[in-house]
Structure 1
Amino acid sequence: MKHIFKKGLMVAAVATAGLTAAPMAFAETMNVTVVAGHPPVFRWVKHTSQTFIPAVNAALEGTGHTINWSEQYGGSLAKVGEELEAVEEGLAEIGLVSSLFDPAKLAPQNVTYFTPFVVSDSTLVGEWMDKLQASNADMQAAWDANGLVYLGGAIGIDDYLLMTNFPITSIADLDGHKIGAPGPAVNWLKGTGAVGVSGNLTTYYNEIKTGVYDGVIVFASAALPGKLHEVAPYITKVGFGAQYAGGIAVNKDWFEGLDPVVQQALRDAAEADRVAYHADLDASVTKFLGIMESQGATVTEVDDAFRKEWADGMDNVAKLWVEKLNAAGVDGNAVLVDYMDTMRAAGATPVRDWDKE
C-alpha cells in the first residue's frame, strides 16, 4: 500500500565544524483510514470516533504531526471478521479487529470464549486481556504473524444473555431450538439439546424474525441498539460471563515507519479508548435491560444450580481448544492457565475451573 505523507521541512541545520548534517525534523500530515465491520450504533465503534481519534489528535498538538482521518465503518470497507485482512493488506492503517470472528488467525486471543462462566466484570476482562497481550508471547506472535501490531483498546463484552422467542424455565426447554451465537460461543450450547448456529450482531434481528433462529446468545449493551427484544422478548440472564472480542490493531509496516511520538500517541489513545468505552458500558447494561423490559421484554435470571448444571453439562471446550492450539505449535495450555490464574487472582470465582480438569 502507498501510505501518503505530506512532509514540510521544519528544521535543517548543518554542523559547520564537521560539515555534518544534523537530524532533520519534519511536519507530517498523514492520511489514515480506520476500519470496523460493525456500524457506529455499537459502542466500541462509537468510541473510536468519540474517544480514540480525538485522543490521538490532542496528543499530536504541537508536535508538527497531524492526521486526516477516514472512518470506514459498518461494512463500507470490510465486513465483520474481515478487519484483520483489511489492515494486513494495507487497505486501512488501523482496524477494530474482531478476534472473535477471526478464530483461525487469532486463536490465542479467543481464550475467554472457551472459558465461559468465569467472571461477569467486562472492565476487568478488558483490562487484563490488554495486559496479557503485552506479556504473553503466543498472543503477541499471533498479531505479528498477520502483519499487525496490537495497540490495546480491548473490547470487553458485558455478561452474555440468552434472548429467545420462547420462555426458558429449564435447560430442557432449549431442546431442538436453533440458537445463533458468535463464533466460539456456539460451543456453549453443547449438552443443552439446542442447535447452535454461528452468526453475528449485524444479522441477528432478521434471522430471528424470519425463523432462521429461535434465539441468540448476545449481550444487553448490543441487544437494545439492535432492537433484538422486538423479535426475541424472553431475556434469560444465564451468566455466561464477560468476554474479550477484539481491540485496536495497526498495520505493522506502517506503524514501524512512524515517528515514535506518533506511535506513543496511538498507544495512549487506545488505552484512553478502553477506559472510556468500559465506563460507558458499565453505566448502560442495567439501564438497557430496564428499557427492554419497559418495552415488553421479560427478564429472568437463573439460579446457581441452573448455571452449574449448564456448565457441568458442557464438554470441556477449553481443553479441546488447547489441544488444537498445541497441535498448531501454540502453547495453548500456557495461554489458558495464564488467563484463568489472572482472573482468579483478580477475584473471579469460576463456576468451572476449565484449566484444572
Structure 2
Amino acid sequence: MTLTIRRLLAGTALATGLSAGLALPAMADETIDITIVNGHPPIFLWVKHLTESFIPAVDAALEGSGYAINWTEAYGGTLAGVGGELEAIENGLAEIGSVPTVFMPNQLPLQNVTYNTPFGPSSAQMVMSAMEVLYDTIPAMGESWHTYDTEYLGGGFALDNYILMTNFPVTSIDDLAGHRIAAPGPAVNWLEGTGAVGVAGNLTTYYNDLQTGVFDGVIVFATAAAPARLQEVAPYVTVTDFGAQSAGGIVANQTWLADQPEVVQNALRAGAAAYQAGYLEEQSARVTAAMAAIAPDADHLHTLAPEERARWAAALPDVAGTWAAATDAAGLPATEVLNAYVATLQAAGADLGRDWSMR
C-alpha cells in the first residue's frame, strides 16, 4: 500500500470517527520519517513482504509507545537500482532497506557463503536457520555490515531451490557446452568446469536478454521465474537442486539507528522477524504453483539424477576453498564461517551434493 493510499484511508477513518461521535485513539507524540528501499519491483516476495509483513509489524509494535512511522516505500529502481540499496542506505538516501547481498560478493563476502557452497539443501527454512546460527555465533557476520554504516536488523531471506531454465533441453552437464548461461553474482561459479560460458545477470534483465539471444539460459528459482514469465523465453526447466540460497536481509543506517529511541529500534527488529516469517510462509506455499507454471508438462521438465547432480558438483573447482582463502586474506573469518555453515547443515540432516568444508 502506498503512502498516499494510507494517508487517504487514515483520513477516511478520522472523518468516520468524528461523524459517529466516537473517541479517537491518542495521536503519537512523535512521527519519524523512514524511507525503505529495494531495487526490485514488488512482484518479488522479498519486496512484497516489506509492505505486507515488515511495515505492519513495526507499526503494531509501536502502538501506544508515543511514536509512529511515516513510511516512504521506494522500490523498483525509484531510488536505487538492484545492488545499489546498500550505498543508498550508507549515504542516508534511505534509512532502511532489504539489501540483496547476492549482488555484493565483494562488499559482503561472508553473507555469500551459501552461494559458494552450491548443491546445498533445497529448503529455504533450513538455509535461513543456519544463517541465523552464524549471525548468533560469529560476530564478524554482523560487524561486516558496519563497514558501510549499516546495521543488520534481521529479516534474512533465502531464495527457493535454484534450477536451470534454458531455450534448449538439458539432461546432463554435457548439454551445456558452448552455451551462454546467466547467473546472479557468485552463482556464475556454478558453471565452471561444465563447458558453459557463465554470464553475470539479474532478474530485471533476464527476460529481454533471453528473448534477444544475449544468453541461452539462466540459473534462477521458481518463485521469481514464474512472475517474470521466463518460461516464455526459456521453456526447458532442469531441476538441478543447486539448493536454496541466503540472498539478503533488512538493514538500517547504523548512525541513524543509534539516534532512535530504544522502543523504535526494538520495533524495527520485531518487524524484521515478522518479515522473515511471512516471507518464508508465502514462499513455501508458492513453490509448487510456480513450478507448475514454468514447467507445465513432462516435455519441458527434467530432474537431474542424483548421480548426475553429484557429477556436476564434483566437476566444479574448489569454489568454497578459493572463496574462503581470498576472504581470509582480506581479514575476514571466511573459513570459520564456511566450516560452521556446513557443520550446521550436516547436523540438521541436509542433503549436500558435496562437502565444501575445510576441516
TM-score by length of 1: 0.91
Match of 2:191 in 1: 189
Quick one: which amino acid aligns to residue 116 of structure 1? P
Find the aligned partners of 2:255 and 2:69 in 1 and give their Cα distance. 18
Q: CA deviation at 1:106?
A: 0.6
Q: Which aligned pairs between 1:74-223 and structure 2 lie closer than 5 A? A: 74-223=76-225
Find the aligned partners of 1:311 and 1:269 in 2 and give their Cα distance. 38
Find the aligned partners of 1:296 and 1:266 in 2 and give their Cα distance. 45
Find the aligned partners of 1:147 and 1:288 in 2 and give their Cα distance. 37
Residues 308, 251 of structure 1: alpha-carbon distance in 2 compared, 3 angstrom cutoff: same
SS in 1 for 2:311: helix
SS in 2 for 1:160: strand
Contact 2:134 2:337 in 1 (8 A): no
Match of 2:20 in 1: none
Q: Which aligned pairs between 1:10-25 and structure 2 lie closer than 5 A? A: none
SS in 2 for 1:167: coil
Give me the identity figure in percent. Answer: 51
SS in 2 for 1:315: coil
Please state which structure has a larger fraction of its residues in helix: 2
Q: Which aligned pairs between 1:52-91 and structure 2 lie closer than 5 A? A: 52-91=54-93
Q: CA deviation at 1:102?
A: 1.1
TM-score by length of 2: 0.90
Contact 2:230 2:294 in 1 (8 A): no
Instruction: Show CA shifts across 1:89-116 (max 9, x none).
Output: 1000001111111111111000000001
1:346 equivalenced with 2:343 (yes/no): no
Contact 1:130 1:153 in 2 (8 A): no
Find the aligned partners of 2:48 and 2:211 in 1 and give their Cα distance. 26
Find the aligned partners of 2:358 and 2:326 in 1 and give their Cα distance. 18
Instruction: Show CA shifts across 1:47-93 (max 9, x none).
Output: 00000000000111111100110000011100111100000110000
Find the aligned partners of 2:173 and 2:118 in 1 and give their Cα distance. 16
Contact 1:308 1:351 in 2 (8 A): yes
Match of 1:282 in 2: 284
Quick one: which amino acid aligns to residue 196 of structure 1? G
Instruction: Show CA shifts across 1:215-247 (max 9, x none).
Output: 000000000011100000000000100100001
Q: CA deviation at 1:295?
A: 8.3
Q: Which aligned pairs between 1:306-317 and structure 2 lie closer than 5 A? A: 306-317=308-319
Contact 1:36 1:74 in 2 (8 A): yes
How many equivalent pairs are there?
Answer: 332
Q: CA deviation at 1:344?
A: 1.0
Match of 1:4 in 2: none
Match of 2:16 in 1: none
Q: CA deviation at 1:296?
A: 9.6
Q: CA deviation at 1:292?
A: 2.4
Find the aligned partners of 1:133 and 1:235 in 2 and give their Cα distance. 34
Unaligned runs of at least 5 residues, structure 2: 1-27
Find the aligned partners of 1:213 and 1:261 in 2 and give their Cα distance. 49
Contact 1:233 1:296 in 2 (8 A): no
Q: Where in structure 1 do 4 or more consecutive aligned residues deviate above 6 Å?
A: none
Unaligned runs of at least 5 residues, structure 1: 1-25
Deviates more, 1:127-136 or 1:160-169: 127-136
Match of 2:293 in 1: 291
SS in 1 for 2:243: coil
Q: CA deviation at 1:131?
A: 3.5
SS in 1 for 2:35: strand
Quick one: which amino acid aligns to residue 211 of structure 1? G
Q: CA deviation at 1:331?
A: 1.5
